[in-house]
Each structure stands twice: as C-alpha cells, then as structure tokens.
Homo-oligomer: A and B are copies of this chain.
C-alpha cells in the first residue's frame, strides 16, 4: 500500500475508519495526517484529486456507481496543529456509495490540536450516500483536542443522504455544523450520538431547508453528558414546500452534566408537516434497580443503559 503514516495515526485509523493493517482500505481513500496527505488511491469510479486553490480534495463519484466505499480519515497526531481542510464530494446521478470520514485528534502536549474539516456534498438526481463520521480524541496532554466539522449538503431531486455521526470520548471542544438544502423528493436522515465527560463541551447545529416538493428530513440526536461536561443542540428545520420534517433530541444527564436543546421548526407552507421532540433527564431509578436485581452493580447497570442508548 502506498501509505506513509505514523503509529498514532495507525491506532486512530482502526477506531475511526475500520482500518485493517493487513488489507488496508477496501476502496478509494485519502488519509490526511497533520495537514498533509499520507496516502491516496482513486478507484475506477471514484477519483480523488487535490484542490488547487486551497487545502483539501475533490472526490468525484461517477454516475450509477453502486456499492463502493470511499475513506477519507483525517488525523492530528500532536500538539500545536490547527488543521483546516476543504473536501468536496460530487456524487453522480444514481450512484449509491458509502463515505467514511472519521477524525482523530491525539494530543500529548500543552498546545491545542485541532481539526476543522469543511465538507460539501453535492448529490445529483437519485444519488444515495451513507456518510459515516466517527470522532475521537486521545493522548494525555493538557492541550485541548478540538474537532469542528462543517458539512454543507445540496440534495438534488430524489437524492438521499444518511449521516451517521458518533463522538464517544476525548474531544474537549467540538462545534458540529450541518446544513442541507433539499430539492424535490430528496431526503436527509441524521443519526448523531455524542458522549461527553470531564470538562468537554460539544455544540451541534443543524439547519435544514426543505425546499422541494415531498422532501423530508429526520434528525435524531442522542447524547450523554457526564462529569462537568456541557452540550448544546440547536436545530432549525424549515418547511418551505409540501414536506415532512422530524427532529428529536434525547439526552441523558449524569454527574454534573448539562444539556441545552433548542430545536426550531419554521413552517412556511401550509403543506409542511413538522414535528420535534426532546427529552432530557437522568436514567430512571427503576431502570437501574431492574438491572441491579439481575446481579449488576449500580455502575455496571448505568453503563449498560448508556451503551444501549448510544447503540
């Protein structure tokens, strides 16, 4: 494999993008390490090229490419890095692909280590994308580990984008901004899972414009705030045509965790049907007692419940 990255990246790749040391990636890929390219491969149907005007890549998926996966992990492996990258995805008509875009930030030093990835998705007619984004922070330095992804999506007629994002530990600060503009019959599904602990802070922002007739959005965020961590969830779903929109935010509090949720619905068309719901609270006492009666300790019971909640 034509790759050249350090051991820290290797460890993080296993977690964030199912990297196999023997077989590598099963598909096209681009590995970004400390603001540089540490490996790249295009496939017949998926080409990856460097941008000429700024850091980042263009990923082009040929029309009607079906069943392929493209991996674009990004790692920051030491202190005092502020990585900024622009990645654009052009998904051809009728394609059906998976994009794996994990991000790991390792920090053993005192300065901050940050990855800021600005992704744009352009889905042509009938294109389908499953976008998997797994974030992790590691290392024992006092410097902050920060990951600030921006994802802006344009969904053409009858296209479908599913975002599956997860951040379970070690990211001190994150602001995750996702916007989507949907055309006729387009659908977006977002599944977000976040767990914060210690003094971590996480902010999530969604802005979805349902502009096309029969477009739809389904946003579900599940989060757990432990320690002294703080999470804020903002979503705006605009119904500008005949459309359906749903957003949900469920959060579990533990220790001194704090969560703010502010999901907005803007119905600007009589045929827009918009719903949201949110629930924030700690794990119900009965749930824990039930598991304790089966032989688990209180801590084990709580872990089990959280594990199931974030699955």
Residues of chain A having any CB pair with chain B under 8 Å: 239, 251, 253-282
* Complex A-B: 9 CB contacts under 8 Å: A256-B270, A262-B262, A263-B263, A267-B280, A271-B282, A272-B280, A274-B281, A275-B280, A277-B277
CA distance A280 to B253 in the complex (A): 29
Interface of chain A: mostly helix, strand, loop or mixed:
strand
What 9 A-B pairs are tightest by C-beta distance, nearest first?
A273-B281, A262-B264, A277-B277, A267-B280, A260-B266, A274-B280, A253-B270, A261-B265, A275-B279
Q: Is there contact, CB below 8 Å, between A260 and B253?
A: no
Q: Is there contact, CB below 8 Å, between A257 and B270?
A: yes
Q: Is there contact, CB below 8 Å, between B265 and A278?
A: yes
- Chain B positions within 8 Å of A262 at CB level: 262-265
- Chain B positions within 8 Å of A258 at CB level: 266-268
Shortest beta-carbon distance from A59 to chain B in Å: 35
- Chain B positions within 8 Å of A254 at CB level: 270
Identity of the chain B residue whose Cβ is nearest the Cβ of A282 in the assembled complex: B270
- Chain B positions within 8 Å of A277 at CB level: 275-278
From B251, B257, B264, B279, give the contact of A261 (CB < 8 A). B264
- Chain B positions within 8 Å of A279 at CB level: 274-275
- Chain B positions within 8 Å of A256 at CB level: 270
